[in-house]
Amino acid sequence: MNFPGLDSSAAASGARPAAMPEVGQLTQTLRAYLKPEDIAPVEEAFRFSKAAHQGQYRKSGEPYIFHPLAVTTILAEWHLDPQALMAALLHDVVEDTPTTKAEIGEKFGKPVAELVDGVSKLDKIEFKTEAHAQAENFRKMLLAMARDVRVILIKLADRLHNMRTLGAMHPDKRKRIARETLEIYAPIANRLGLNSVYQELDDLSFRYLYPNRYRVLATAVKTARGNRREVVGKVLEAIKQRLQEAGIEATVTGREKHLYSIYKKMQGKSLTFSEVFDIYGFRVIVKDVPSCYLALGALHSLYKPIPGKIKDYIAIPKANGYQSLHSTLFGPFGTAIEVQIRTADMHKIAEAGVASHWIYKSSETSLNDVQQKTHQWLQSLLEIQSESGDSVEFLEHIKVDLFPDDVYVFTPKGKIMALPRGATAVDLAYAVHTDVGNHGVAVKINHELMPLRTELRNGDQVEIITAAHAKPNPAWLNYVVTGKARSHIRHFLKTMHFEESAALGERLLNQALRALKSSPEQIDDAHWEKFLRDSGVKSRQEALADIGLGKRLGIVVARQLLALGEQVSVERKQLGSITIRGSEGMAVQFAKCCRPIPGDPIMGFIKKDQGLVVHTYGCPSAAQFRADPDKWLDVEWDPETKKLFDVDVKIVVAHQRGVLAKVAAEIAGAGSNIDKITMEEEEGSAYTTLFFTLQVENRMHLASVMRNLRKIPEVVRISRVKG
């Protein structure tokens, strides 16, 4: 195989000549696993890409074609198929040259064109901000990746080569790219099990984000390498000898931890470099799984294991398919050493992850465990995408999921579920199924009832208890950690808000129709179709929700539906009042400044995007809206509200032992709940001020509670707080 014309291009251009070992390396790698007839289209893609990028140079001064060639060489080392290799050679053609996706599809086939499109950025679309553009690019790439994992493999190889050559960029751009790599690309490589790529991206990002720290740490590691060489050699020989004595065939190697992992350990545990002893690890590769456990036993008889530092990722693999036994031992001279024990197959997966199973094979090859786990994760991306409001929200959810840690819990049937560290029972509920999450009411952890916000620990057995009537609580968003849980909760709340707003909007529209001497029955489908066509609204429900959310005025929509002109005026008294039941959900909000309760004279304000906000009639905060008759409307309480309402009460009590218990007992005795309590106490004063947020049915109920409290001898003064 030969890539014609490459060797003369740099010299002919007058640009700085660049080394060209990639060509021979790529040729050799492709011949090792591809048939000659499969190499031919790759050669053709190279010729096409070289012609398209003719006259273009990288910041380093070398011809642009060197970049796609280097990316393709990385992918060839992972043994990717010809389609992926062609897409890698062409991955910047659509973005940086006049060539279109259609041209690539016509010449190299639709699958190659789709791969190129998935990798290309969205530069031709204008976005509000750079953050929005970046988020939309990731969204497009991740969704293309969900359809075909080769998209992200090409993108990771692209980013890896860009990071290797980042030195030619402006310092500000270097930092931006390095941060993006550390936050997104390195975690994706880790999530897909591409361990060597993950570590190299981490170290390169660290180098450009914190150049001084990187330099100091690299120097310290280099010095330590010399100082600790004797220790490493001694440990290596001791491990080999002990395994040989135990009759275990094994390959043993010493390895240095990568710089960024040492830096994270120093940061996370507030250690100095001299306190980090396990910068060296040892890897033992054996023939089969039983030998892994035999080797672990042999090494534990050589050096004492540190309690709590043994991890069995063979019995319970990581989410990305990684398997090994990990044990941290007390080595010679009091140094801690980490040992990883695995089989050759496990080592292959540990180094290359999902790419290790992308070797060019027939399409009948069945999915293995690693591919199935990757497929499940990619499908969850599609779920999150369908429920995210925009690309920035989508990226926020994904970032959360890109930092998985080692928390493994068991369902009642013994199924192992992997979750990020810090995950709660709510996260697990959504991981099991959306319906389980939406209807979860409680959880049993190790057979004990616990709150849903309980953080899960390794080995917990967890049973989620559901109820048909239950629904997600907005407060869950404060403590869930997985993107899937967060997106499902937000989606449910948005849907519920929309439905409740539409119901309120319908009531407001019916009120306006009656004021115009009409009725809802007179508005048929033809009226609605004309209104939707003229106003550009997609559906009747959307128009009603707009009214409920204050985006449209009910009286204006009523006029449009009845084809009446603006000259037809309506007095406020003709509109009548809206009845407040207390069960409207998020579409009706009760102002926290005055906390209205049934029995209070009230008025409502239509606040854009929030719907109807109810205030007491004399609330100072509502005064600013009174001058605008379009913003407020008459509301009245339903005689039979079936809800408890929050009300603030201030109680001044004599500072005596047990007074708080007496107050709480009287409140409970009067059939009220305490939602919140705070105290104020002046130093040296004989009195304490208690502030309660109570839940009551109406003003009569509140009066009953206050009467009971006045009977307590220690209560000096009691009043309702408004504003």
Phi, psi for 708 (deg, rounded to 5): -60, -40
DSSP state of 281: E
CATH superfamily to which 6-211 belongs: Hypothetical protein af1432 (1.10.3210.10)
Asked whether the beta carbons of 440 and 470 are under 8 A apart, the reply is yes
CATH superfamily to which 216-357 belongs: Beta Polymerase, domain 2 (3.30.460.10)
606-611-613-614 Cα dihedral, nearest 10 degrees: 90
* CA–CA gap between residue 89 and residue 69 (Å, rounded): 6
Asked whether the beta carbons of 356 and 307 are under 8 A apart, the reply is no
For 405-481, the fitting CATH number among 3.30.565.10, 2.40.50.140, 3.10.20.30, 3.90.740.10 is: 3.10.20.30
Asked whether the beta carbons of 563 and 621 are under 8 A apart, the reply is no
CA 83 to chain centre: 31
Specify the amino acid at residue 615: H
pLDDT value of residue 252? 93
* CA–CA gap between residue 158 and residue 176 (Å, rounded): 16
Q: What is the DSSP string of 396-419?
A: HHHHHHTS---EEEE-TT--EEEE
Helix, strand or coil, per DSSP, at residue 665: helix
Q: What is the largest CA-CA distance in the chain?
A: 101
Helix, strand or coil, per DSSP, at residue 155: helix
Of 253, 309, 325, 324, whose CA–CA distance to 282 is shortest?
A: 253
Active-site annotation holds for 630: no
- Whole-angstrom CA distances from 83 to 30, 36, 86, 109, 113 are 13, 14, 5, 9, 9
CA 225 to chain centre: 39
pLDDT value of residue 133? 63
* CA–CA gap between residue 691 and residue 183 (Å, rounded): 44
Residues in the chain: 723
Asked whether the beta carbons of 498 and 545 are under 8 A apart, the reply is yes
With a CB cutoff of 8 Å and minimum separation 6, the contacts of 74 are 157, 160, 161
Order of all β-strands in the sheet with 462-466 = 448-450, 440-445, 462-466
Active-site annotation holds for 158: no
pLDDT value of residue 625? 67
Active site residue: 95, 180, 406, 636, which one? Answer: 95
Cα-atom radius of gyration of the chain, to the nearest Å?
Answer: 34
* CA–CA gap between residue 70 and residue 79 (Å, rounded): 14
Q: What is the DSSP string of 304-370?
A: PEEEEEEEETTTS--TT----EEEEEE-GGG-EEEEEEEEHHHHHHHHHGGGGG-SS--TTPPP-HH
Of 604, 614, 625, 610, whose CA–CA distance to 549 is shortest?
A: 610
Low-confidence ranges of the chain (pLDDT < 50): 1, 5, 7-21, 122-127, 358-367, 565-574
pTM of the model: 0.58
End-to-end Cα distance, the chain = 81
What is the domain partition of the chain in residue ranges?
6-211, 216-357, 405-481, 491-635, 645-721
Written as six digits, the tokens of 567 are 């000259």
Q: Which CATH class is domain 645-721?
A: alpha beta
